[in-house]
Amino acid sequence: MRAEGIETVRRILCVFPRYTSSFGTFEYAYPLTDGVQAFMPPQGLLLIAAYLPANWPVRFIDENIRPATKEDFEWAEAVFVSGMHIQRQQMNDICRRAHAFDLAVAIGGPSVSACPDYYPSFDYLHVGELGDATDDLIARLARDPARPERQVVLKTNDRVAMTDFPIPAYELAEVKKYFLGSIQYSSGCPYQCEFCDIPGLYGRNPRLKSPQQIVAELDRLLECGVTGSVYFVDDNFIGNRKAALDLLPHLVEWQKRTGYVMRLACEATLNIAKRPEILEKMREAFFVTIFCGIETPDPDALKAMHKDHNMMVPILEGVRTINSYGMEVVSGIIMGLDTDKPETGEALLAFVDESRIPLLTINLLQALPQTPLWDRLARENRLIEDDGRDSNVNFLLPYDQVVDSWKKCMAVAFEPEKLYARYQHQVDFTYTNRIKVPVTPEQKTWANIKRGLIMLRNIFWKVGVLGDYRKVFWKFALPRLKHGDIEGLISVALVAHHLITFARLASVGQHSASNYSIRLREASVPAE
Ligand code: SF4
């Protein structure tokens, strides 16, 4: 569905802001690839681009790939921006640059929807999801693209049903330059974890696209040249379990039809381990990774943050169950909780060893606006506005102690030997449980082979020859080569290199300890 009935033509420049350097965007892996420059295509802006009247020319710039230029701004009649809190500074900077060309600038997305007052300079604030506010914005720009005299705030009351969403305009993005493809099936989550803004922003009753829409989107992503992996950016893939079960057979069929060229990944709550019927279908659909917000192995802490659903099965048992369906678990971990004790760091490292999870995003607690955590800390007078700190929370333990503990956890958890040992465990006990994907002509294209060869060359040279952890690398790599598992070797080596490099810098204070962007919300923005 598109906005209709608009005859005037307007040229719209959609600009997605740069991320600050982050653990979860894998940027240190990019130099080992065949030209990846950014993490995932942003769903929100590409959705808006697809929704605009068919006769409106749209240009999409992801500033993680290249900055918007003078020529882009001179071409445009209005500018659209979207992003998360963590991109606030960059969004305000885009606004400033657009105003230098006297262009009206509209902002939508999760950050402005939660905190309109973060964006005083923008001409139009689009608060909430795709809906009547979007139509109003389009109508106003059609009438007059000039900057309004004062800021106009448009709030969505009547949302467009997700079943009416158009396919995001993937064709406008240079999808080959992204580390992962992205797609969204649902929005919202039934739980209410204290620190999370998803239920407040998107509701507790997940809204859904249809399986047919998802299949059409996957086809479009393939046409646009996405290779490798596609990430379902849904807040919780099993937020509506029946919907997940409805979708999965379509994904299985799609994989069979297209030759299993795509590996799938998603975010879901750990209690997915109690749903063998879903896990089995996910295995068949070639899901290879699930991001689970484990947050902490401490049951008291889980209770305190209202994440009891993580305890529906013992955590380690849940991880093993997911692994037994061929899926690697990626885990979110939070430090600086009120329940933390001086020995929390050690307990966390013991959990990392026991769980054998290779990739854990370990962050300091950050209070996001419009969350129960924010409200509680505000009542307790424990919110701190200080740009020099890595968190806005006044922890119960001394701040320096929490940050030092985080640095130590990063340094130890991602030592090359430990990390590669955890990956070896995944090779032996997780990856072996995946379906044996037939080798299809779609996989053996010259473009795919060339891509693989370029990445292998980069990995061998930069890690295997020049890297200071080359011995650890070769110990893992040689058996993989002997087994002909080139794809597995490449994907582990890319991610491991990023984790090792980032963690080393983080442990000496060169990266922030509160990267709350790690959950992949930036790409799942129906709130445009
Ligand atoms: S953290 Fe995850 S499970 Fe909890 S409310 Fe947010 S999306 Fe739902």
In the predicted model, is pLDDT for residue 517 greater than 50?
no
Name residue 95's amino acid. Answer: C
Given pLDDT bands bounded at 50, 70 and 90, which one contains residue 21? Answer: confident
The count of other CB atoms within 10 Å of the CB of residue 433 is: 13
Q: Does 269 sit in the ligand 1 pocket, CB within 6 Å?
A: yes
| 338 or 312, greater pLDDT | 338
State how far the Cα of 192 lies from the Cα of 68, in Å rounded to an integer: 38
The minimum-distance atom of ligand 1 relative to the CA of 236 is 7
Going from the Cα of 199 to the center of ligand 1, the distance in angstroms, rounded, reads: 7
Going from the Cα of 303 to the center of ligand 1, the distance in angstroms, rounded, reads: 14
State how far the Cα of 108 lies from the Cα of 14, in Å rounded to an integer: 11
Average pLDDT over residues 130-150: 97
- Which pLDDT value is given to residue 515? 55
Question: Which positions ≥6 away from 14 have C-beta within 8 Å?
Answer: 45, 46, 48, 49, 58, 59, 60, 61, 79, 80, 81, 82, 172
In the predicted model, is pLDDT for residue 509 greater than 90?
no
Helices 446-459/486-507 angle, 10° precision: 40
In the predicted model, is pLDDT for residue 377 greater than 90?
yes
In the predicted model, is pLDDT for residue 526 greater than 50?
no
| 521 or 380, greater pLDDT | 380
Percent of all residues in the chain with a pLDDT value above 70, rounded to a whole number: 97
In the predicted model, is pLDDT for residue 451 greater than 80?
yes
Phi, psi of 249 (to 5 degrees): -60, -30
In the predicted model, is pLDDT for residue 521 greater than 90?
no
The count of other CB atoms within 10 Å of the CB of residue 11 is: 13
Q: Does 293 sit in the ligand 1 pocket, CB within 6 Å?
A: yes
Smallest CA separation from ligand 1 atom 7, residue: 235
The minimum-distance atom of ligand 1 relative to the CA of 192 is 5
pLDDT tens per residue, range 235-276: 899 999 999 999 999 999 999 999 999 999 999 999 999 999
pLDDT tens per residue, range 147-165: 999 999 999 999 999 999 9
Q: Does 199 sit in the ligand 1 pocket, CB within 6 Å?
A: yes
Given pLDDT bands bounded at 50, 70 and 90, which one contains residue 323? Answer: very high
Residue 400 CA neighbour count, 13 Å, CB half = 0
Q: How far is CA 355 from the centre of its chain?
A: 23
Q: Does 189 sit in the ligand 1 pocket, CB within 6 Å?
A: yes
Going from the Cα of 28 to the center of ligand 1, the distance in angstroms, rounded, reads: 28
State how far the Cα of 360 lies from the Cα of 295, in Å rounded to an integer: 10
- Which pLDDT value is given to residue 57? 97
Q: Does 390 sit in the ligand 1 pocket, CB within 6 Å?
A: no
Quick one: DSSP state of residue 112?
H
Residue 41, both tokens: 């295509």
Residue 256, both tokens: 């069979």
pLDDT tens per residue, range 410-448: 999 999 999 999 999 999 999 999 999 888 787 778 888
Residue 260, both tokens: 């299993």
- Which pLDDT value is given to residue 507? 86
State how far the Cα of 15 lies from the Cα of 32, in Å rounded to an integer: 27
- Which pLDDT value is given to residue 512? 67
In the predicted model, is pLDDT for residue 4 greater than 90?
no
Residue pair 349/409 in contact by the 8 Å Cβ criterion:
yes
151 burial via Cβ count (<10 Å: 0-12, 13-18, 19+): middle
- Rounded to two decimals, the pTM is 0.93
Q: Does 298 sit in the ligand 1 pocket, CB within 6 Å?
A: no
Residue from 418, 416, 374, 388 nearest 514 by CA: 388
The region of weakest confidence among 1-10, 55-64, 147-156, 456-465 is 1-10
Pairing relation of β-strands 186-187 and 207-208? antiparallel
Given pLDDT bands bounded at 50, 70 and 90, which one contains residue 522? Answer: very low
Smallest CA separation from ligand 1 atom 4, residue: 193
Q: Does 196 sit in the ligand 1 pocket, CB within 6 Å?
A: yes
Q: Does 186 sit in the ligand 1 pocket, CB within 6 Å?
A: no
Query: Candidates 198, 267, 291, 310: which one to mutate for ligand 1, based on the most atoms within 8 Å of Cβ?
Result: 198
Phi, psi of 179 (to 5 degrees): -65, -40
pLDDT tens per residue, range 177-210: 999 999 999 998 999 999 999 998 888 888 999 9
Query: Candidates 196, 204, 234, 272: which one to mutate for ligand 1, based on the most atoms within 8 Å of Cβ?
Result: 196
State how far the Cα of 448 lies from the Cα of 463, in Å rounded to an integer: 22
Q: Does 127 sit in the ligand 1 pocket, CB within 6 Å?
A: no
Mean pLDDT (the chain, rounded)? 93
Residue 258, both tokens: 């297209």
Residue pair 364/391 in contact by the 8 Å Cβ criterion:
yes
Q: Does 237 sit in the ligand 1 pocket, CB within 6 Å?
A: no
Residue 289, both tokens: 């990774």
